[in-house]
Amino acid sequence: MAQILDGTLVRDKILSDLKPRIAKLSRPPGLAVVLVGDDPASEIYVRNKIKACAEIGIESTKITPSETISTEELVSIVEGLNEDPLIDGILVQLPLPKHIDKSRILEAVSAGKDADGIHPLNVGHLVAGRPAPRACTPAGVIELLKFYNIKMNGRRAVVLGRSDIVGKPMALMLLQENATVTICHSATANLAEEARRADILIAAMGKPAFLTSEFIAPGATVIDVGTSRITDRAEAVRLGKEAAFDRKGSVLVGDLHPIDVARRSTAYTPVPGGVGPLTIAMLMTNTVALAEQNLKRA
């Protein structure tokens, strides 16, 4: 029977380990979260991040400009946070409204306050193997694998997806752990064949239950980063999620077919409860590390 890799358990360990580091600081770490507009999913994510801050002693500041804000006005807000000595980390919640220049906003965040670990300078540090904030979701995946003593050194890892915030940094972090890494994407030929080569398969495609047993090598470790909401009961029944659907009227699924991944893998992350909790834990980790650096320089 496949082992379920519990992200909540790993998250709790990470947050617990941060508390004594916070207690040693001369002031609480400060995290500013910028939430533009009123996207319901983004509001939930931000609420969970602020809750995590409160639980471990990070001071959070929430800035909620109107959806009609201009790129220039948003840049001005970010620059003000860059100058605030009590703010150690800045997170601009994505997605942003379509009229906003996302790249310009993300690059306006000081690399020294980049709590999300996605500033180009910090990505460059990742490529070079230098210390810097790391992209939260892939950093959480690495912590999960280490927690469960899943060997990466010398193993074949396949990353499905090439996004700037998950796929690309995930591949780089696996390389640093001495895995042999393949990145697959929408133009990859023979995708199932490539996926089956993986000892460690990491799916970050955003296609609900797209990856069936033909994509999974028997005995592989499977990390499912995808999260999609199913609102059709027939689809939920097909995926073995009817009980959860009937309780809530919808159900979350990942990129992997939940029945197939449980049958074919040696270990896998569930959705929900797998990678999701670790993203917030690593945001907290980045914020504490930035505070330690900022206070050391003060």
Enumerate the active-site residues.
49, 93, 116
Residue whose pair of structure tokens reads 């001495």 in the numeric block: 178
Residue with tokens 């409160």: 54
Task: Using alpha carbons, select from 59, 67, 66, 65 the residue that is nearest to residue 78.
Answer: 65
**What is the rounded CA–CA span in Å between residue 236 and residue 286?**
36
Alpha-carbon dihedral 43, 46, 51, 53, rounded to 10 degrees: -160
Specify the DSSP class assigned to residue 114.
B
Burial state string for 52-66 with b = 16 or more CB within 10 A and e = fewer than 16: bbeebebbbbebeee
How many C-beta atoms surround the C-beta of residue 42 within 10 A?
16
Q: What tokens does 131 get?
A: 């210390």
Q: Is 24 exposed, middle or buried (0-12, 13-18, 19+ CB in 10 A)?
A: exposed
* Length of the chain, in residues: 298
SS3 state at 162: coil
Helices within the chain (DSSP H only): 7-23, 40-56, 71-83, 102-108, 120-128, 136-147, 167-176, 191-195, 233-238, 242-248, 258-264, 276-297
User: DSSP secondary structure string, 246-263?
Assistant: HHHS-EEE-SB-HHHHHH
Bridge partners (DSSP) listed for residue 202: 159, 223
